[in-house]
Amino acid sequence: MTNKNKQHVYRLALLLGLFSTLGPFTIDMYLPAFPEIVKQFDTTASLVQLSLTACLLGLGIGQLIMGSLSDVYGRRNPLLISMAVYVAASLACAFSPNIGLLIAFRFVQGFAASAGIVISRAIARDMYSGHELTKFFSLLLLVGNLGPLVAPVSGSGILSFTTWTGVFIALALLGVYLLTMTKWGLQETLPLDRRRPSNFMQQLRNYGSLLRDRQFVGYMLAQGIMIAGVFAYVSGTPFIYQNIYGASPTVFAVLFGSNGISLIIGSQLVGRMAHRVSEHTFLLFGLSLACLASVTVLVVAIVHGPLFALVIPLFFFVAAIGITSTAAFPLAMESQGHMAGSAAALLGVIPFLLGAVVSPLVGIAGEDTAVPLGVIILLTSAAAMLAYFFLVRRSPSRAV
């Protein structure tokens, strides 16, 4: 590859990675403000966590719709519209007068942000396949995974001089920037002759075809269930670190953000070694690492071990997510070039829908125990492993 081609690849990965960061920023940036929002609206931790659940539902449902629309109308126009809606929804969140409206606007905000996630991945599949897709996807994740690293730290920094409303104003400004980038910096990658017909029933048939593909479903569940465990971590750690262990918002942001590094390490390990180690091997390794780390988290939670004893296995658990996500995505997408948007949508929606279910469960036993977090991430890790073995490894089209 020439230097000019490399520069083009890196610029495209940077741009698409920025769209991917919209999801993590929308989810993570207001996490340090959870206790403040509880006091502001005189509400409960569970209701504030419900605002996260609403956002996850929006991100999940939105990907199904935006993925299909991008197969019909191309990648660029749906991004333009969704970024404009994102800006409006972020401002509405900032000025919500009560927790109910905040929850509603968070759903809209998540729905709009979903386009950045699913369409950026569809664009990647438009342009690459095979090991090249794995390598490019790892580059995309290198940028996208900076979101979990930077978002909570940025939110904590904003909270140091203003209230939680400032976080959503900052998200609105991020939306304006991405809207501008979509308008002036992104070319259409889906030509007219490759677009799907604008037919609702056909879109349903596309999803039905994908869901009948046993290997695709296996990769989708292995990746999606694992990421659902991360959302339990995202929902629970603001209260675990700050309420149980007494960490300040700044310390929480640093601890939480450090796991962005583990995501980057995991994803780049797969990308750098794609020509030497198969994606299947990496996927199995990531699933095994997640099971081991989650068992350790549960033990530490039960005995109420020190903070560092909890942070270390969580670091490896999140690294396992980086490994499994980077390995599972190209395996699932390899034979889906004819409907990449729909396939990327299903790969994206499952984590958010499952995450929306498990996130409120972290606080089911109150704000003074980390045991539910340990139980949930152990169950999700085990379920992801079972999905891989029963749907992929035992598939008739794959040798065991």
Question: What's the pLDDT band for 396 if we cut at 50, 70, 90?
Answer: low
Question: What's the pLDDT band for 171 if we cut at 50, 70, 90?
Answer: very high
pLDDT for the residue numbered 189: 79
> Does the structure show a pLDDT above 90 at 241?
no
Question: 190 in a domain, yes or no?
Answer: no
pLDDT in tens, 99-125: 999 999 999 999 999 998 888 888 888
Question: 191 in a domain, yes or no?
Answer: no
Q: Among 232, 204, 224, 219, which residue's Cα sits nearest to residue 349?
A: 224
Question: 40 in a domain, yes or no?
Answer: yes
Name the average pLDDT for the chain: 84
pLDDT in tens, 325-334: 888 888 888 7
Question: 193 in a domain, yes or no?
Answer: no
Q: Find all residues with CB under 8 Å of 11, minimum gap 6, and list them.
A: none
> Does the structure show a pLDDT above 90 at 198?
no
- Enclosing domain of residue 39: 8-185+200-393
Q: How many Å apart are CA 223 and CA 370, to the nearest integer?
A: 24
In the chain, pLDDT over 70 holds for what percent of residues? 92
Question: What's the pLDDT band for 4 if we cut at 50, 70, 90?
Answer: low
pLDDT for the residue numbered 293: 95
> Does the structure show a pLDDT above 70 at 366?
no
Q: How many Å apart are CA 13 and CA 41, to the nearest integer?
A: 40
Question: 74 in a domain, yes or no?
Answer: yes
pLDDT for the residue numbered 365: 57
Instruction: Enter the pTM of the model.
Output: 0.71
Q: Are 196 and 345 in contact (CB under 8 A)?
A: no
pLDDT for the residue numbered 256: 76
Top-confidence residue, 285 or 145: 285
Into how many domains does the chain fold? 1
pLDDT for the residue numbered 145: 65
Question: 243 in a domain, yes or no?
Answer: yes
Min mean pLDDT across 22-31, 248-257, 331-340 is at 331-340
Q: Are 92 and 105 in contact (CB under 8 A)?
A: yes
Q: How many Å apart are CA 5 and CA 201, to the nearest integer?
A: 40
Question: 147 in a domain, yes or no?
Answer: yes
> Does the structure show a pLDDT above 60 at 168?
yes
Top-confidence residue, 7 or 321: 321
Q: Find all residues with CB under 8 Å of 51, minimum gap 6, and list them.
A: 37, 99, 102, 103, 106
> Does the structure show a pLDDT above 90 at 289?
yes
pLDDT in tens, 345-357: 788 778 777 877 8
CATH number, residue 204: 1.20.1250.20
End-to-end CA distance of the chain: 35
Q: Alpha helices, DSSP H only, in the chain?
A: 3-28, 34-40, 45-73, 76-94, 99-127, 130-144, 146-159, 165-185, 200-211, 214-239, 249-272, 279-303, 307-333, 340-358, 371-387
pLDDT for the residue numbered 296: 96
pLDDT for the residue numbered 400: 39
pLDDT for the residue numbered 399: 43
Question: 400 in a domain, yes or no?
Answer: no
